[in-house]
Each structure stands twice: as structure tokens, then as C-alpha cells.
Amino acid sequence: MASYSTNEFKAGLKVMLDNDPCSIIENEFVKPGKGQAFNRVKIRNLKTGRVIERTFKSGDSLEGADVVDVEMQYLYNDGEFRHFMVPDTFEQYQSDEKAVGEASNWLKDQDFCTVTLWNDIPLSVSPANFVELTITSTDPGMRGDTSGGGGKPATLETGAVVRVPLFVQQGEAIKVDTRTGEYVSRVKE
Amino acid sequence: MDEWRPACSPAHLHLRAQILQEIRGFFSERSVLEVETPLLCHGIGTDPQLEFFTADYCLPPLQQTLFLQTSPEFAMKRLLAAGSGSIYQICKAFRNGESGRFHNPEFTLLEWYRVGFKLPQLMDEIDELAGQLFRPHRSLNAPQRFSYQELFLSCTGLNPLVFSYKEFCAYAVENHLPEAAAICRRDHSVWLDFIFSHKVQPHLGNNALCMVYGYPACQSSLARINQYNPRITDRVELFFNGIELGNGYYELADPEEQNRRFNEEIIIRQQRKLPAASKDNYLISALQSGLPECSGMAIGLDRLLMALTDSTAIDEVLSFPMRRA
């Protein structure tokens, strides 16, 4: 992998830091008029998701990280691993629960998602921003209540629980924003 | 697409013109002479922290490397030694590799020298000038002045004048800067830059002009060592909202001391494998002939414009920043 100097640190650049793959968020050149030049860098550890700040001497460099985002289709869960496939090549990847993380709340068989690969191994999984999932259980709402105020918890086919308006019923499909975990609308059949 | 257009707004072009006029008025009232000195010279500052641009001068068979000046300081001191009296200049300065939210490799400096002034008088004049420039544009909190040592001590608990590697390292680790030790090693001055940049400077001058004076002797640059305390130097820096706006000295006039500092810096440049700098022998000769007692200040005018307009990036006040130049 190529190495990158502090001058090349741009948002989105993937580099190795402390043996972990990281993504640069922000890079600020700091230099006293008559002093040493530094770069203050905000960086996300792609394994833990944590954001840290780190200072480098200007001109220092970091090894690039072989990290790519690939659009894949979620296939199934075999109990231990979740399996994904690149639609164009039929190439399959398996990922443990740790890499899948919170995405497991939103993954339905056949749905598309983004799998981040580090050295060709899944590092993390991001669901689509909006997913459509069926409600497997929720309390029956009061008839005639269409205000949507208040709401009630509903369990989805993936096991995730979201708050839905009272008029939404068990067995219905709903659209959810995966970034906030919030109900968006009912899905018309 | 639109890259040919200026980066700054028309309002900022007008403000720049207005500020230049106000500065000229300020110095004209005080009978300080406006001068011009060459930007392209045979010598250059040897400061290892300042990278310069070189240019090839061809007048066959003559071929020379000339240096674009990182500041007009040396030429202006030659004028002072020749008896110019107090002088000021508004010019471009060039610093290679400096690019960022607060840096453009080519920038505008206001630099002035006051014959007979010591540091406190210079600081009073900085307050007057800056106050006059800010007043029509924004109201400020009362100006502040701190001694470097007291300020550093109160922000960090560390004495900046006495270097204790162990204490500086422990401070860095406690303050979530574990990388400091690897970057600064055992270099007192780099440690000071690191900790000052991260932990002191961001808090300076909350909507106020803040001057810090009495820098540690290892950061004297071209300032005199303090007459009463050899551990500090008669150097001042100006800050606003955590941003450095300028730097000034009670000017070093001793030619031998100046020559010694040049030579030390040239050796450091060699050790760090930095481009070789030709020391300015004209300056040494001028000092030998006699530099009048004087103090001088340089203010980055682009940064000043940023401060006046609350800009978050230097590009917002430049017509054509480097990437569009």
C-alpha cells in the first residue's frame, strides 16, 4: 500500500493508525509563525467506530489502508456468520456479528447494503438509509386514531423494535430510517 | 468551472482596500515612512522552521539562485542602519509548504520598525493600531497582556523556561496527547510549540486582542535576550480568538550574536537535511555599521481581515488563493 503524507490527508482517506484501519475526517494545518508545523487530524477508527484526535508533525506519513466499500446483497444468517454476495461477480463474503454490529437490526434477506472490506475481509456493514420491514408484533391500536401522536412499540421481522403510530397494525410493512431508527411511513402493498 | 473567479466576496476586496488606507493614515500621522524593499534577494532567513521559495536568475553568463523573502525584515533593518528612521512596509511574503485554513504560501504582511521604541512602547502602538482598525467593524472586549511564563504556567502547570522532559511527557499523557513525546523528543522548543499550540493558544483573545510577551530564550528568533532575565527574550505575539496575528521584537542589534544565531540555524538545517539557506551578509554588515535601538512588528493582514470579518478560512479574504492563483 502507498503511504500518504500529512499534506495528502483528506476527508475519507483510509490509513493505518496503531495497526487499525482508520478514515480521516478532518485535517488542520497548525503552525506558529516562528515554530514547528503540526497537523491536527480527526480520524475514525473503522474497527471500533471511535473518533479520536491525533497530532502529526507536518510531513510525517501514514501507510494507506486497503479499505473499500462494496455494495452487496445480504443472503442469510447461518447462526454464526452472516453471508453477503456481490451481485455482479457472485463472490460471497461471510461476516461475524461484531462486524455486522447494529446493522443486524435492519438486515433482511435479499436486501442490499454496503459492506466495508479491509484486506478483503468484512470490517463493517451499513444498511441502506431506508429499509422496508414487516411488523411481527405490536399491540392493536385504537380504531379511528390516525393522529400518530404518542405511538407504540412494534417488533419487526429482524427483531428490531421501533415506535410506530397507533393505527399501524401487526403484519403491515413499514419504512424505517436506519440512521435514526425511526418509523417513516406505511408501505402500500 | 468557476475557478477563474475570485475566492473572496466583493465586500472583502473593498474592506482590504479600506484597511490598507487606514494603516497608511495611521503611520502617516506618526511620521513613519512607507518603504519598499526587494522580495527577491541573494540571502534569506535561516530559520529552520521557515521554508522558502527559490527562483533562478539568468543574465547569461550569470546564473544565480535568488530567494523569495519569508519577510522583509533584513532589508528593512538595512534601511534602519542606513539612517531611515522609523519605517513601515506593506508587502507580500512567501513561505513554502504553508497551506491550510489559516495559511496561504503567499500572503500580505504589514511590517513596521520604531526607532527608539522598546517592547512596551511597541505593544502600546500595536494596541492603538489594532484598536483603530477593529473599531469601525466590530466591538471588542478589553485588550489583554500576559507574560508567556505566567500564561503557560497557569494553563498547564508547567514552567516553560525550565525544560523537564519527564514533566512535559507526563503532562502530555494526562492531557490526551500521548503522541507528543514521539514528535517533540527532547527538543525544548518543539515541546513548547506543541503544548502552546494545543493547550494555550486556542484560549487566547476571546473577541479581544491578546498580547503575549517574554518568550523563552530558546524561541528568541531575532529578538534581544531580556536585559534582566536571560531566560526570556523581548518578543511579543498578538492573538485574536486563538489565532496568531503577528509577531514583534525588541530587535537584536549585536552583529556577533546575529551571526552566531545564523550559523546555528544553518547547522540545524544541514542536520535536518533542509534546503540550504544563504545567510544574509548584508544584514551582518548593516548591524556592524550600527542598527539604531528599535522595535519591530509584523502583522499578517490576511489573518487580520479574517478576524475583522469572522471568516473561517483565509481563502475567504484572498482574491486568488494558491489553488486558484
Binary contact (B194, A38; C-beta < 8 A): yes
Residues from chain A contacting residue B189 (CB–CB below 8 Å): 35-36
User: Rounded to an integer, what distance in angstroms lies between the CA atom of residue B99 and that of residue A151?
Assistant: 53
Tens digit of pLDDT for each residue in B12-59?
Answer: 999 999 999 999 999 999 999 999 999 999 999 999 999 999 999 999
**Is A5's Cβ below 8 Å from some Cβ in B?**
no
User: Rounded to an integer, what distance in angstroms lies between the CA atom of residue A121 and that of residue A127?
Assistant: 17
Residue B187 falls within a domain, yes or no? no
Tens digit of pLDDT for each residue in A11-34?
Answer: 999 999 999 999 999 999 999 999
**Is A58's Cβ below 8 Å from some Cβ in B?**
yes
Binary contact (B247, A36; C-beta < 8 A): no
- Asked, colleague to colleague, whether A3-63 and A130-186 share their fold, the answer is no
Confidence grade of residue A146 (pLDDT, cut at 50, 70, 90): low
Residues from chain B contacting residue A51 (CB–CB below 8 Å): none
Q: Which of B103, B193, B198 sits opposite A29 (nearest CB)?
A: B103
Chain B nearest-CA distance from A144, in A, is 53
Domain ranges of chain A: 3-63, 67-127, 130-186
Grid cell digits, residue A71: 455494495
The residue of A9, A29, A34 whose CB has the most chain B CBs within 10 angstroms, and thus the best one to mutate to test that interface, is A34
**Is B274's Cβ below 8 Å from some Cβ in A?**
no
Nearest 5 degrees, angle CA B278-CA B69-CA B272? 50
**Is B92's Cβ below 8 Å from some Cβ in A?**
no
Exposed/middle/buried for A139, CB within 10 Å: 0-12, 13-18, 19+? exposed
Residue B150 falls within a domain, yes or no? no
Tens digit of pLDDT for each residue in B98-117?
Answer: 999 999 999 999 999 999 99
Percent of chain B at pLDDT > 70 equals: 100
Grid cell digits, residue A126: 451499513
The interface residues of chain B toward chain A in range 50-89, judged by CB-CB distance below 8 A, are 50
Binary contact (A29, B190; C-beta < 8 A): no
Residue B290 falls within a domain, yes or no? yes
Is A145's pLDDT higher than 60?
no
Chain A nearest-CA distance from B63, in A, is 31
Whichever domain contains B116, its CATH number is 3.30.930.10
Percent of chain B at pLDDT > 90 equals: 98
Is A102's pLDDT higher than 60?
yes
pTM: 0.88
Average pLDDT over residues B190-212: 97
Chain B nearest-CA distance from A20, in A, is 16
Confidence grade of residue A188 (pLDDT, cut at 50, 70, 90): confident
Residue B17 falls within a domain, yes or no? yes
Tens digit of pLDDT for each residue in B211-228?
Answer: 999 999 999 999 999 999
Q: Is the domain covering A130-186 a CATH 2.50.20.10 domain? A: no
Q: Which of B50, B179, B300 sits opposite A55 (nearest CB)?
A: B179
Query: pLDDT at position A144, please?
Result: 57
From the list B120, B90, B63, the residue with the least C-alpha distance to B235 is B120
Phi and psi torsions of B95, nearest 5°: -135, 115
Domain A3-63: CATH class, spelled out = mainly beta
From the list B322, B169, B324, B301, the residue with the least C-alpha distance to B240 is B301
**Is A11's Cβ below 8 Å from some Cβ in B?**
no
**Is A18's Cβ below 8 Å from some Cβ in B?**
no
From the list B143, B114, B102, B22, the residue with the least C-alpha distance to B318 is B102
Q: Which of B98, B177, B190 sits opposite A36 (nearest CB)?
A: B190
What is the 3 state secondary structure string of chain A?
CCEEEHHHCCCCCEEEECCEEEEEEEEEEECCCCCCCEEEEEEEECCCCCEEEEEEECCCEEEECCEEEEEEEEEEECCCCEEEECCCCCCEEEECHHHHHHHHHCCCCCCEEEEEEECCEEEEEEECCEEEEEEEEECCCCCCCCCCCCCEEEEECCCCEEEECCCCCCCCEEEEECCCCEEEEECCC
Range of the domain at B308: 10-141+276-324
Residues from chain A contacting residue B180 (CB–CB below 8 Å): 55
Q: How many domains is chain B built from?
A: 1
Percent of chain A at pLDDT > 70 equals: 95
**Is B244's Cβ below 8 Å from some Cβ in A?**
yes
**Could you report the predicted ipTM of this complex, rounded to two decimals?**
0.91
The residue of B49, B107, B186, B243 whose CB has the most chain A CBs within 10 angstroms, and thus the best one to mutate to test that interface, is B49
To which H or E segment does residue B55 belong?
strand B53-59
Q: Which of A28, A35, A56 sits opposite B49 (nearest CB)?
A: A35
**Is B177's Cβ below 8 Å from some Cβ in A?**
yes
**Among the CATH numbers 3.90.1150.10, 3.30.565.10, 1.10.3720.10, 2.40.50.140, which is that of A67-127?**
2.40.50.140
**Is A29's Cβ below 8 Å from some Cβ in B?**
yes
Binary contact (B194, A34; C-beta < 8 A): no
Residue B60 falls within a domain, yes or no? yes
Q: Answer whether A157's CB lies under 8 Å from A150's CB.
A: no
**Is B293's Cβ below 8 Å from some Cβ in A?**
no
